[in-house]
Each structure stands twice: as C-alpha cells, then as structure tokens.
A and B are shown apart, each in its own frame.
Chain A
C-alpha cells in the first residue's frame, strides 16, 4: 500500500513534460497492444480456416484415389495412396475406413508413436476438431452419390505455432518502432503544451520569490486554454503591479505628508518655545521694575504720601507679585508639556513622604493629621511625580485651612480592577457642578481673598498624569472635603 502511494506520489512529482510523455507512451502502448491482439486473433482464426481447407482438400484427394481400392477391397493400394501423405510434414496419421466403419488402411508418419485410430461409425458425418495441439478431420468418400468409406486425418499445429511466433516477432517489432515514433512525436508535440507551462511556472516562481511584478510570462500564439491562462496571468501581474505602484506612491505621499506635518509641528514648537522664552525673560523684567520702583517710592517718599497713596502702592506691589506667580506657574506648565519623560521604577511612598515633610514645615503651626497609606511603585518620571504630589497635597493643605484638625489622606484603591492613587482631605471642597473646569488653566473655584492661587496647579498635575498615560478625576462636596484620584498604569504613555 505504502509502496503504491509512493509510486503515485512519484508520478505526481514528475514534471509536466515527463507526465505528458508518460501519458502519451501509455496511451499508444495500450492502443498498439489492443490492435496487435486483434490482428493476432484474426490471423489465428484465418490460419485455422485455411488449414482446415487444405487438410480437407488432401482428404478429398486421398478419398478420391481410394475409391477403387475400396471398391475392389484392395487395402494395399489404399495404403500406397495414404503413403503419399509423407509429402505433407504436418500430417501425423491418417486412416481410411469402409462404409461400415471398419479400418481399411492406415498411415503413420512415425510408427512408434502410433495412436490408434478412432473407431468410426459407418454413416460418420464430416467434421473437424482442434484438440490437444492437433487438428482431426473426417471426410466421407463418395462415389456415384453413395458413401463408400471415410477418411480420417490427424495433423499437428506446429505450422500454426511457428506462424504465431513469427507474427508475435513482427508485432513486437512494429510495437517497438511505433512506441519509438510515438515517443519522438510526443516529445515534439508536448513542447507546444509543456513549454509555455514551464515558462509560466518559472515566472510565477520569480514573482513570488522576488516580489517582482514587472516580469511577464512568454505568450503563445495558440488560442487554447494555456494561451488564455498565460494571458490571464500576465493581466493579473499587470493589475498587481499597478496596485503595487499605487500603494507605493500612496506610501510615499503619506511619508511626505508626515514629514511636512512634522516640520510644521517642529516650527510651531520652536515658535512656542521662543514665545515661552520671551515670556520668561521679557515679561518678568517690567514686573521687577514696577515692584522695585513701587518699593523705592514707599521707602523714599512714603512720608509725602497719604495713607491712601501708601495703600495704592501696596496694591501695585501685590498685583505685580501675583503676576509674577502667574508667569512662573505658566512657565512651569509649558515646561511640563515640553519636557521628555525620564521613566524610572520609583516607590511612590518615598516621594509622597518627602512632599509631606516639606509641607509640614511650610504649614508651620497648623494642626494637620497626615494619613499615609501604602503606595505602589510605578514606572514614572520621579521629578514630575513629585510635582503631582506637591500640587495635590499643597492644595489639600490650602483648602483645609479652616479645619482643626485638618485631615489629609494619601492611599491607593482599586476601581474596576485598576490601581488608583488618591489624595483626600476634609477641606472646603467644591461644587461638582464645576468639576469640568477644575483642571483648566487659570480656572479657580474659590475667591482669591479666601484662597490664594493661580489656577495652574491642577492643570499641571493633569498634564503630567496624561503624559504618563494615566487619568485624573475628582470627587467633592461643598464643605465636605475633596478627593483626587489618578491612575498611571497604562503601559504606553501618550504624549
């Protein structure tokens, strides 16, 4: 079974040329064999017929010559007539029987191997029979319309055998010559079929290996299926090539566009940078001048100013101080936007603890209960994360100012399986109606007389959290405190 499959697979693995040759040879072989078989069968039948006819003529001759012998009951004369059969080498034995069916005279080519002649009936009908490699023939001897005896002749079939062998030899020769010419012819004709297919396969291989869609299979002049196949294949290649080049140009265009956009963005960035630089440098100087000369005014001419004038000078100083803070915070915010993240695994506990220590000093004599829970480590920019804790916790310190004791809590929790860090206080809180404004630049939910600030702190915090790929949100209620939540755990930080 396995061997058979192996052979089949082998045939399948043959090239189309070999398969075509093989098929042609098998077909012509089968046709020739059938034809030879038919010829041979016909030959054998015809030969037998002619043999019977020849033997029958001999029998009749012998019979005609034996009539007088039978009439005069002269077996010796009949025997002489029979002995003439010596000239026919195929005749083994012969016999003449009387009309009564009695043996009258016999002939044996080789006496030793003499087979007894069969007993015959007097009115034996004429017949012939091929059996045991012999032909046995019986003919009546008729004289003046009356049967006077019977002739029996046995002949061997050696002649037939020789003829068959000769025929077989000739047929084999014919077969060989035919197969040879079939092979030569099929070899020549297969080219018209196999050659284009082989070429097609080669081109297909080149296309799939080198992704070269510019090659084409050689076309044939014939309008058969192979011609159509090649044409369709070439057409398909053309379409692929077209699509490929369209794709290529689209990609190039896209790259070009990305390059333009990048350049545009770079120039905008540069502009922005020079803008912040000029804010940093040029806007601060006049502020310092206003402040400086206001101070000089109250120092040197304070005595000449009315109390109202002194108050106005104080307001000028306060206004410029606030403007200075705004500029600083705005620059810090811009800086956070520009800054590249330097991610490092950082224990948030340590960071928060440092900030708490700083704030404790800043808060001086206030009664604040700090509750620091267990915080995780995170892959973050430690400097920026410190800023997040500083801004959130200093907000808590600020907005719990009316509380005694103030309670500020830092910890982590899980929301929908996500790790969330929170800062919570029991301060004045805010109305959730305005929570959307909370993280906007210069957005403040409290009056400046109650709580100082520039409205940049939470915007900065949000920008840092977003840079880390996290989210930040808040929950609060007026006079019931506020909670800020943020996540950091997205693996890929967005810019």
Chain B
C-alpha cells in the first residue's frame, strides 16, 4: 500500500475511475491517487478505521475528489461527516459528479464543499476540467500546513 497518498478519489464506477485517472495522468498529475469505491470506504480511509485502522493518522489526503452517487453512504453524507470533523474539515473536497441539479449544488455548498464540478459529457471538456482542478488544488491553492 502506497503511504504517500495525496489524492483520494471516491468513485464507484470503474469506467469513471479509469477515465478520471487517465485524465489526471495525461495532465501530468504525478501525485499518488487512492480510490475508494463507496462512501463507507472513503470515510474509513480518512478516519483510519475499519480496514484502514493501521493507517497512520497524521497522513490525511491532500485533496478529496468526491462523487455524489455512491453505494452504502452517499457523497453528501460523506461530505457532511468530513466537514463536521474538526481536523478533516480542512481537507479540500471537490465534488466531481454527473449531476448538475441545483439542489445537489446548493446542498454541497451548504455542507462546506470547496468546489463543485459537473463532469462534462464531452471527453475534451472533461480533460480540461480535470486538468484545471488538479492545477488549482494541487499547485495554486495553499492548504493549511
């Protein structure tokens, strides 16, 4: 298991995982990427519990890319739990979803999301969006040390 995790991609759809990874890699994002396949796994990973109970607590991900439609615990619930935890709320969370519904956008921002990106259907636009978010959150933005 790679200890040098910097990006946590929470996505249940393997095709989407593959395409997002491809897009990130093609835009020269070198950071290690860890994939959680449902909301529960994502929370277990971040809070170092369950199957991740032996993960060191002082290595939180640098960025979380969160899909909204997830099995077990859905994206908004994951977001709510992350943002209500005193330590984890500083981790930038970017919602990356197919939904452009206003209620999803509004609810995400109410829960404290840092960015909301609707996955463009067009692959070219999708790559541009992934590139922009990678550049912004991993290079331009300065998170708390």
Contacts and interface: CB of A to CB of B under 8 A. Distances in A.
A288 B16 contact: yes
Contacts of B19: 288-289, 292-293
B51 interface: no
B69 A288 contact: no
Interface in A278-309: 280-282, 284-289, 291-296
Contact of A324 (B13, B16, B121): B121
B128 interface: no
B99 A277 contact: yes
Contact of A291 (B100, B101, B123): B123
A281 B121 contact: no
B138 to A, nearest CB: 22
Contacts of B101: 277, 280-281
Interface in A358-417: none
B98 interface: yes
A281 B122 contact: no
Contacts of B124: 295
A292 B119 contact: no
B69 A320 contact: no
B54 interface: no
A192 B97 CA distance: 91
B84 to A, nearest CB: 25
Interface string B10-42: 000101101100100000000000000000000
Contact of B121 (A282, A291, A293, A296): A291
Contacts of B15: 285-286, 289, 292-293
Nearest to B121: A324
A292 B13 contact: no
A321 interface: yes
**A interface, size bucket:** 20 to 34
A285 B119 CA distance: 9
Contacts of A281: 69, 97-99, 101
Contacts of A295: 123-124
B126 interface: yes
Q: Which of B13, B19, B120, B126 has the most CB of A within 10 A?
A: B19
A195 to B, nearest CB: 73
A295 B120 CA distance: 14
A447 B127 CA distance: 31
Interface in B92-117: 97-101
Contacts of A292: 15, 18-19, 22, 123, 126
A331 B100 CA distance: 10
B38 to A, nearest CB: 16
A296 B98 CA distance: 20
Contact of A284 (B18, B22, B98, B123): B98
10 contacts: A281-B98, A281-B101, A284-B98, A285-B16, A286-B15, A288-B19, A292-B19, A293-B15, A295-B124, A327-B121
Given A281-B98, A291-B122, 19 more contacts: A277-B99, A280-B98, A280-B99, A281-B69, A281-B99, A281-B101, A284-B119, A287-B121, A288-B98, A288-B120, A288-B121, A288-B123, A292-B19, A293-B19, A295-B124, A317-B123, A324-B122, A327-B121, A331-B100
**What are the nearest 6 A-B pairs in CB distance?**
A324-B121, A292-B19, A289-B15, A291-B123, A284-B98, A295-B123
